Amino acid sequence: MELEAMSRYTRPVNPAIFPRMTVVLLAADMFFTSWFFVYKVTSTKYTWDIYKELLISLVASLFMGFGVLCLLLWMDT
């Protein structure tokens, strides 16, 4: 296969959106993380719900994971 016959690789995501995506995803993470902490502090043993804690922490960790990924991709460009 000749080099001229190959098509040039283009990124599936425009690198110009990495800064905005980083800020949005990490801001959403801060919201869910603060909600989780407030829920932990204000809940009693009668109002405590493990499924709600797991759901909030799962959403927060997903936002943080993708936010940090966008941050690392932003720093690479």
Q: For residues 2 and 66, which has the higher predicted lDDT (pLDDT)?
A: 66
The answer to pTM > 0.75 is yes
Rg (CA), the chain: 19
Q: In this predicted structure, what is the pLDDT of residue 74? A: 92
Domain ranges of the chain: 23-76
pLDDT per position as a tens digit, 22-67:
999 999 999 999 999 999 999 998 999 999 999 999 999 999 999 9
- Burial (CB count within 10 angstroms: exposed 0-12, middle 13-18, buried 19+), residue 75: exposed
Q: In this predicted structure, what is the pLDDT of residue 32? A: 98
Q: How many CB atoms neighbour CB 60 within 10 A?
A: 20
Q: What does the H/E/C string look like for the chain?
A: CCCCCCCCCCCCCCHHHHHHHHHHHHHHHHHHHHHHHHHHHHCCCCCCCHHHHHHHHHHHHHHHHHHHHHHHHHHHC
